[in-house]
Amino acid sequence: MILVIPSIDISEGICTDCIVGQSGTEQYYKELSKNLTGLLGLLRRENTKTIHINDTDSLNNKNNHSNINSLIYATEAIDIPIQFYSKFNDCQQCKLLLDSGIYRIVVDDLAVNDPAGIIKLIGQYSSSRISFAVFANKWEVALNDGKTILPVSDYVKHIQSLGGDRIIFHEKQWETSDSGFDFDNFVRLSEICKMKITLYKAAKTPQQLWKLEELRPCGVDSLIIGKPFYENCFPCQKIWRLIEAKECGG
């Protein structure tokens, strides 16, 4: 079974999304969104195996000190593997976070801007703790604010040359296409890359998730979900919302 990984966007140290719960629990989840440690604790109790966190401030070229402080505090308090995607300026930032207990970091521009540094990171921390964001549009990847454009296949080959063995993959066209996930192109990509693959926001319903199971032979072992997670689009989540409603008197 593909591992489903909830995605949390944080800005100024708090989650920008809010779980939709049962009537009467609105304030409970609103307050939880302001407390990253509390939210991670809730997800841990719900048997979440790992969590993906997006540092939206750094990705939007804003100061991210609050996000880093909140993340490190939460990591020390809650025993759950965290995968962190941020706009890292250099490999030293990556080292500091990995040393602080973050299980895995997700890099993009650094793979092109400092390949030697990435090779050293992988050598020191192993390829399992360094993942690469491959966020494509029309099967091209834009790096350095669009100054570097690479075909997905070329970028993936470059990642492999650094020693990387996991990518987080998303194709923007999936969001607007009536047909949704492009299986044929993806299978061709998987034949090139031969890597472990986490799909990013490629399923919004249980039916789509079940369909993605067909891609396990292509290296797909996990799926990151965002908004559908907060809206309880998967059956098991509704059970947790009912349990939490009883616990908080909703």
**For 88-107, what is the mean pLDDT?**
95
Predicted local distance difference test score (pLDDT) of residue 249: 65
| Burial group, residue 29, by CB count within 10 angstroms (0-12, 13-18, 19+) | buried
User: What is the sign of the dihedral through the CA atoms of 32, 102, 115 and 137?
Assistant: negative
Over residues 154-164, the mean pLDDT reads 95
Q: Say what the pLDDT of residue 177 is.
A: 64
The pLDDT assigned to 74 comes to 93
All domains of the chain in start order, with CATH: 3-247 (3.20.20.70)
Which pLDDT band holds residue 4 (cuts at 50, 70, 90)?
A: very high
Average pLDDT over residues 65-80: 94
pLDDT at 181: 72
In this predicted model, what pLDDT tens digit does every residue of 201-242 receive, in sequence order? 888 888 888 888 888 988 999 999 999 999 998 888 888 898
The pLDDT assigned to 178 comes to 60
Largest CA distance in the chain: 55
pLDDT interval class at 152 (50, 70, 90): very high
Q: How many C-beta neighbours within 10 Å does residue 215 have?
A: 20
* Residue 5, pLDDT above cutoff 60: yes
The answer, yes or no, to whether residue 248 has pLDDT greater than 80, is: no
53 pLDDT higher than 70: yes
For residue 36, with 0-12 CB atoms within 10 Å meaning exposed, 13-18 middle and 19 or more buried, which class applies? buried
- pLDDT class of 1 with cuts at 50, 70, 90: confident
Q: Is the pLDDT of residue 61 over 80?
A: yes
Q: 186 falls in which pLDDT band (50, 70, 90)?
A: confident
Report the pLDDT averaged over residues 107-134.
Answer: 97
Provide mean pLDDT across the span 129-150.
Answer: 93
Around Cβ 225, how many Cβ atoms within 10 Å?
A: 21
Please answer whether residues 71 and 93 qualify as being in contact, where contact means their C-beta atoms are separated by less than 8 angstroms. no
Percent of the chain at pLDDT exceeding 70: 97
pLDDT, greater one: 185 or 149 = 149
Q: What is the pLDDT of residue 91?
A: 96
Could you report the per-residue pLDDT of 18-30, keeping only the tens digit for each?
999 888 899 999 9
